[in-house]
Amino acid sequence: MTVGTVAKRSEFLPFSRPVFGEEEIHEVVDTLRSSWITTGPKTGRFESEFAAYLQAPGALALNSCTAALHTALVTLGIGAGDEVITTPMTFSASVNVIEHVGARPVLVDVEPDTLNIDAGQVEAAITPRTRAILAVHYAGHPVDLDALRALASAHRLALVEDAAHALPARYKGRLIGGGYNAVAFSFYATKNLTTAEGGMLTGDPDFLARARIVSLHGMSRDAWQRYDQGGSWFYEVLLPGFKYNMTDIQAALGLCQLRKLERFQRRRREVVSQYNGAFADEPALELPVTRPEVEHAWHLYVLRLRPGTLTIDRNRFIQELSERNVGTSVHFIPIHVHPYYRDKYGFKPDTFPVAYAEYRRILSLPLHPGLSDGDVGHVIEAVLDVVRSHRV
C-alpha cells in the first residue's frame, strides 16, 4: 500500500521512545539484588555525578521535574499574594506549580524565533508582588539568560529555570544548570536522559539542603540516614513537606544514561542535520533556529508550516503523517487557552498573539537516538510527500 508517492511503513514509527541497553538492565538488577531499592547510595551517586557533569555546585534527585519546580518555589518562600512571571508556551506543570504554592502566574509572550519567553517584555510585567521569573528553555534552546539575570538582579527576584528540555544545552559555553540559581531537570521517558520518571534540582548547596527537607515530608533525616549501618532512628519534622524523593531503581537507570548522554546527543544532532538538509529549500516549511551564543539540546525538532503555502492546516498535516505511520506531537497547547487558566484569568487566544499564532502551525517530528537512518529517511519522505500533495 502507498500513501501519495511514499511506500507506507509496515509499522508505526513512534514520536519518541527510550533507549536502554544491557547496562541499564544490569544496573537495575544489581539494585534489586541489593539491600536498598528506595532513596539510598545510588541516588547519592547519581546526584554527585550529575552535578559533576554540569559542573554545578550541587544536585538533588527527585521524582519529577514538576517536583523539582514545586520544591524550588516552596524553598524560596513563594506563596499567597506573590506573582511569578513565566511563559504560555510550556507544559502545564511549569505553571501548575505556581498555583500549587498559592501564587499568581503572570504570563509573558514568546520570541517569534526561539519560542522562549521574550525577555524584552518581562520588565513590563514586574510588579511589587513579583517574586520570581520561571524561565523555560523551550525545545532545548536556552532562553536569553543574560537579560533575565539582569532583570532578576535589578528587581531582587529569584530566577528559576525549567530545564526539562535543556540537558545538555549550553548558554555562552556553560551547561544549563551549572550555576547557583535553582534549575529543574526532567528525566521523563521521552527526555534526552531518562529514569522512566524522575527529575533533578541543581543550585546552591545551602538552598538544596533546605530543599531536601521540603522534598521528603519535612524530615530532618531520610531513610538511608536512619536505617543504614550506623544510622540513628531519630528524626524531626521541621515543616510540612512532600513525598518527592527519587528511588535507587530510578537512579540506577540515570547513572547509565548519564554515561551515554554524549553519544545520545551526537545521534540527535545527526538526525537534526538530516532534517535540516532535507527541509531547508522547501518554501512551505520553517526550520527551528539556533542562536550563535547557545548549544541546542535538541530535545525537540519543532517544524513550522508557513501560512498560505498549503491547502491543509497543521492538524490535517499531522493526521496525514499518521496515515503514513509517522508519529508526531505538538509542543505545546499554550497555557492561556486551557480552560482552567482561560476561565480563571480571563485570557483570550490573542492575549499572547505570538504564542497562539505559532502554536497553530507547529509540529514536533520524531527525534531520539534510537532512530535509524531509514527511519529518518521515511520521516523526511513522508513530510515532503504531504507537502507535495497539498501545495497551494
Residues acting as catalytic residues: 191
Please give the Cα distance from 368 to 251 (Å, whole number): 21
Residue whose C-alpha cell reads 555546585 in the numeric block: 57
Question: How many CB atoms neighbour CB 93 within 10 A?
Answer: 18
- β-pair type (301-305, 362-365): antiparallel
Under 8 Å CB-to-CB from 52, ≥6 apart: which residues?
none
Over its C-alpha atoms, the chain yields an Rg (Å, rounded) of 22
Under 8 Å CB-to-CB from 193, ≥6 apart: which residues?
167, 187, 254, 257, 258, 261, 264
Question: At CA 324, angle to CA 300 and CA 14, rounded to 5?
Answer: 40
φ/ψ of residue 176, rounded to 5: -60, 130
Please give the Cα distance from 168 to 138 (Å, whole number): 13
Cell of 311: 491547502
Q: Are 171 and 177 in contact (CB under 8 A)?
A: no
Q: How far is C-alpha 223 from the chain's CA centre?
A: 29
Cell of 238: 521541621
Instruction: State how far the alpha carbon of 382 is from the alpha carbons of 5, 23, 282, in Å.
Output: 9, 34, 14
